[in-house]
Chain A
Amino acid sequence: MSTTDFDLVVVGGGPGGYVAALRAAQLKLSVAVVEASHLGGICLNWGCIPTKALLRASEINHLLHDLGQFGFAVDNPRFDFQKVVGRSRAVSKQLSGGVGHLLKKAKVPVFDGFAKLAGTDGKKRKVEVALKDGKSITLTAKNVILATGARARTLPGLEPDGKFVWSYREALVPDELPKRLLVIGSGAIGTEFASFYRNMGSEVTLVEVADRVLPVEDEEISDLARKAFEKQGMKVLTGAKLGTLKKSDKDVSVEIEAAGKKETFTFDRVISAVGIVGNVENIGLEGTKIVVDRTHIVTDDLCRTGEPGVFAIGDVAGAPWLAHKASHEAVMCVEAIAGKHVHPIDVTKIPGCTYCRPQVASVGYTEARAKEAGHEVRVGRFPFIGNGKAIAMGEPEGLVKVVFDAKTGELLGAHMIGAEVTEMIQGYVIARSGELTEAELKETIFPHPTISESMHEAVLAAYDGALHF
C-alpha cells in the first residue's frame, strides 16, 4: 500500500482524533492522522490539562494561606507567577509529546497540516492536506473521521485584543497576574479561570447571564458553588446584562446591570468564556451532503454524517463539549467502521466535571430535569460535614445529592460539590451505566474513611435515612 492510501484518515489529533487512530490501529486498520497544530488538541494544550496544572498551583496557594488550621506557620508565602504558568506549559508539552509517542508506537503516520475533504476517487474519499512546509498532499481513504474540535466563541465587542480581553488561550499564558479581573460566563471554563485567578490573589468578578452560576448543574449545587465563591471573596453577578467595554490606556470599564441595579466597574483584564463554536470552516464541507447546524456537524447516534464514509466526533459534532465524550465517540465510531457491534452514547451517562474550588461533578438528570421528564423522584442528600475524612482533611464543605426514580429505583442523576468529587463521580457513572438500582448501591460496602462514603450515605438518605447525619 502506498503511504497516502488508508482505510481511515482522521482529521484532528485531539482526544477524539488520536484515540480514534489508536483504536483503529488496534483493529488493524491502516490509519493516518492530520493535525494542524498540536497533537492532543485543545484538551492537552489549551484546555483540560494546562488549566488543571494552574488550578493545582492556586489550590496550593490557598492552602499556604490557610496553614494555620493544620498548625503550621509560614511567613510571607509567595510565588513566581511566570514559573506557575511555565509549569502548566511544561505539563502540556510533556503530554502532547506522549501522544506523539503513542501514535508512533502504533505506527500511525501523522501529517502536520490542514486537511480538507476533496471529493471522491472511486469509492474512496480524498483528503487534501496543506502541509506546514507549504507543500500539499492528497490522501485517499475509505473512511474519514472529522475531529476538528472547537474554539472560543467571540461576541461582538468581546473579541480577544491581545491586551485587555482574553479568551481561554490568552488566559492560560498571562503576562502578569491581573489585579482586577472580569470573567464573563460561568460555565466550566469561566468558573475554573475565576477560581484560579481568585485563589492566586486577583479580585475577580464573575458575570453570568443566566440566573445562577454553572447553569447546567443542579440548582442546589449552583447555589452552594456561588456561596463558596462569595465566601472566597469573589463577586458574583447573575442574571447580568453587560454594557459596552470602554477601553482606556491601562484598564477597561463596563456597566453591568444585575439584580435591578446598574453599576460601572473597572478591570485590568477581561476573560470572555461565553461558549464555543465548532471548527467547520475550510475543511471542504461545502457542496457535500454534510449538514452543519449552528457551527456543528450534524450526525446520527453512530457519528455518521450525511456523506457516506465521513464521520464526525467530539466538539465539532456538538455538545456536550467534553474530551471524554470525544474519546468515547472515537472508539465507538472506529469499531462501527470495523464492523463491530457498538452501543450509541447516552448523554445522560456522560459525567461532567468542573475543577473550580470547590470542585463540581455530576452525571444524569438534575432534580428539576428529572421531574420535567415525568419522573416521580426520591432525592437523597449528604453534606461533607457528616463525613469523617472530609473533616480530617479540612474540607468540610460539600454536598452529595442523588436523584432516584421513586418507582423503579433507577439512579437518574448524581450531583456533587466539594473536595475530590471529580475523582468520585465515576462511582455513580458505573452505577448508571450498569443500571444499578438503590438496592445494589445500598448493599455496596464503601471503604472507611473516605469522602466517597458520603456517596453511600446520600443513597441511604434517599430511602431509609442517612446514618451519620
Chain B
Amino acid sequence: MAIDILMPALSPTMTEGKLAKWNKKEGDTVSSGDVIAEIETDKATMEVEAVDEGVLGKILVPEGTEGVAVNTPIAILVEEGEEVPAGPSSAPAAAPKAEAASASPKAAAPAPQVKASVEKGNRVFASPLAKRIAKDAGIDLSTLKGSGPNGRIVKKDVEAAKAGGGVAAAKSAPVAAYTPGGTTSTPHSTMRKVIARRLTESKTTIPHFYVSVDIKLDALLALRSQLNAASPAEGPDAFKLSVNDMLIKAAAVTLRRIKGVNVSFTDEALIEYNDVDISVAVSIPDGLITPIIRQADRKSLREISTEMKDLAARARAGKLKPEEFQGGSFSISNMGMFGVSSFSAIINPPQAGILAIAAGEKRPVVKDDGSLGMATVMTTTLSVDHRAIDGALAAKWSATFRDVVESPFTLVV
C-alpha cells in the first residue's frame, strides 16, 4: 500500500520548513532509517529518515521548495512493483493561518520558489513567451526557477537570467518603496527574525541587572598548559582544552555551588533546574546559535572540550538537532577572542542568567603583599533577571565564580 511521507515537525515551534535536498530519487529503494531528504528550518538543517521501507514512488515537493507546511505530503512510498498513485492519499495540511500576524515581515518574506522541473519526464512549466525568449537566448528553462503562479516560469524570470548571464532565481518583490536616500533591503532570514523577536522580548520584559568582576587568569592558564601537556600526541584520547572549556566548567561548578541562579522566573513560580545545562553562544555566518553542554558540572574538562568542538562545528554547518540548542538553564557568551575589555549580554529567556566573558589581558595589579605586579586579568559581567535573582545573590555568585577560576583545581577534582 502506498504511504505518504509527510513533512516532519523537527522542533516544537516548527510550522514550516524548506525542503533543502532529496537524497533519494524517484524509483530508489528506501530502507527504514535511510536519510531520504534534508530539511532546513529556522535554526538548522536536519535529516529526514525513512520510517518505512519500500520504493520512493513519487516526489511531491521538489527540492528547494520553501515554506512547506508541517504534515504536507512530500513524497509517496510504494511497495516494490506497486503502481504509483497520482497524488497523496491525505489532503495537504491546511496552511492558512487564522491569525493575521504583523503583515509586513510576512509579506517581505522571500517568495516561495518552486523549481519548475518537477514532474516525471521533466516537464517544465513556463509561459509560451518565456519559452520563446529562453529559446532565442539559448537558456535552458530547466535551470530556472519560476516566479509565476504555481512556480511557472514567466518572462521576467527568463529576462532576469539573461541579465544575470546565467542561472538566476527570480527576485521577490522589492520591499522598500519609500526610502528616498537609496538603501538596500535584504529580507530577513528566519533566524534573524527569531533573534530579533527573542532579544526584544528579553530586553523589554526582563529587568536586567549586571555584576562585573575582574578575575586573574594566570592560575587557570597554567593549569591548562599542564593538562594539555598531559594529552597524548594523537589518537582518540588526545585533547586540547580551551580557556572557554574551562570557563564552562567553572560556571557549571559555581551554579551547583551557589543555589538560586540556575533558575527561570515565571509569573506563578520560580523554577529551579536540577541539571546544570550551559548554553554556549556560537557565532555562525547568518546569526547566532546556542548549543548546550548538558550537565556540565558533572562532565570532565575533556568531555566538555570534545563535546563543544563537535557542537560548534555542527552549529556552523547548520546541522544541530533541535534538542541540542533548545533548552539550557544558563548561558555563556565569550567574546575574549575579539579582544573586548568588557561587555554585557542579553538574557536568553526563559533563563535568568548569562555570563559575558571578555578578553584576558595583561594588567597591572596590586598583589596581596601590597606591591604592584602584572597579571592576566579578564572582566566578566553577569546579567541576571532581577525578578528572580537579587543583587546580593548575583554578587555572591560572581565572587564564587572568581574564586573557582582563580583556584582552578576544583575543575579537575
Interfacial chain A residues near B149, Cβ < 8 Å: 343
Q: Which of A29, A299, A408, A437 contacts B100 (CB 8 A)?
A: A29
Among A291, A336, A340, A341, chain B packs the most CB atoms within 10 A around the CB of A341
Residues of B within 8 A of A (CB): 67, 96-104, 106-107, 111-112, 127-130, 132-133, 136, 147-149, 154-155, 173-178
Chain A, Cβ-Cβ closest to B100: A7
Interfacial chain B residues near A299, Cβ < 8 Å: 177
Separation in Å of the B145 CB from the closest CB of chain A? 13
A27 to B102, CA, bound (A): 16
For window 306-340 of A, CB contacts with B under 8 Å fall at 306, 308-309, 311, 336-340
Q: Find out whether the CB atom of B99 lies under 8 angstroms from the CB atom of A410.
A: no
Q: Which of B103, B107, B154 contacts A435 (CB 8 A)?
A: B154
A143 to B177, CA, bound (A): 19
Instruction: Identify 13 new A-B residue pairs, CB closer than 8 A, beyond the known A8-B100, A142-B100, A339-B100.
Output: A300-B175, A304-B104, A306-B178, A308-B102, A309-B102, A336-B103, A336-B106, A410-B155, A434-B128, A435-B130, A435-B154, A436-B127, A437-B129
A69 to B173, CA, bound (A): 56
A145 to B395, CA, bound (A): 52
Q: Which of B106, B136, B154, B155 contacts A339 (CB 8 A)?
A: B106
Q: Which of B111, B132, B178 contacts A409 (CB 8 A)?
A: B132
Q: Which of B100, B111, B148 contacts A337 (CB 8 A)?
A: B100
Q: Find out whether the CB atom of B173 lies under 8 angstroms from the CB atom of A301.
A: yes
A–B Cβ pairs within 8 angstroms, 12 of them: A7-B99, A28-B98, A142-B100, A142-B102, A302-B107, A304-B107, A339-B97, A408-B129, A408-B133, A435-B127, A436-B127, A436-B128
**How many A residues touch the partner, as a band?**
35 or more
A341 to B173, CA, bound (A): 10
Q: Find out whether the CB atom of B96 lies under 8 angstroms from the CB atom of A338.
A: yes
Interface of B, helix, strand, loop or mixed by DSSP? loop
Q: Find out whether the CB atom of B128 lies under 8 angstroms from the CB atom of A301.
A: no
A439 within 8 A of B: yes
A440 within 8 A of B: yes
A250 within 8 A of B: no
A291 to B176, CA, bound (A): 13
Separation in Å of the B169 CB from the closest CB of chain A? 14
Q: Find out whether the CB atom of B101 lies under 8 angstroms from the CB atom of A28.
A: no
Among A28, A142, A300, A342, chain B packs the most CB atoms within 10 A around the CB of A300
Among B99, B102, B107, B112, chain A packs the most CB atoms within 10 A around the CB of B107
Interfacial chain A residues near B100, Cβ < 8 Å: 7-8, 29, 142-143, 337-339
A274-316 interface mask toward B, CB cutoff 8 Å, 1 = contact, 0 = none? Answer: 0000000000000000010000001111101010110100000
Interfacial chain B residues near A308, Cβ < 8 Å: 102-104
Q: Which of A8, A300, A408 contacts B174 (CB 8 A)?
A: A300
A341 to B178, CA, bound (A): 22
Q: Find out whether the CB atom of B102 lies under 8 angstroms from the CB atom of A409.
A: no
Interfacial chain B residues near A28, Cβ < 8 Å: 96, 98
Q: Find out whether the CB atom of A338 lies under 8 angstroms from the CB atom of B97.
A: yes
A105 within 8 A of B: no
A83 within 8 A of B: no
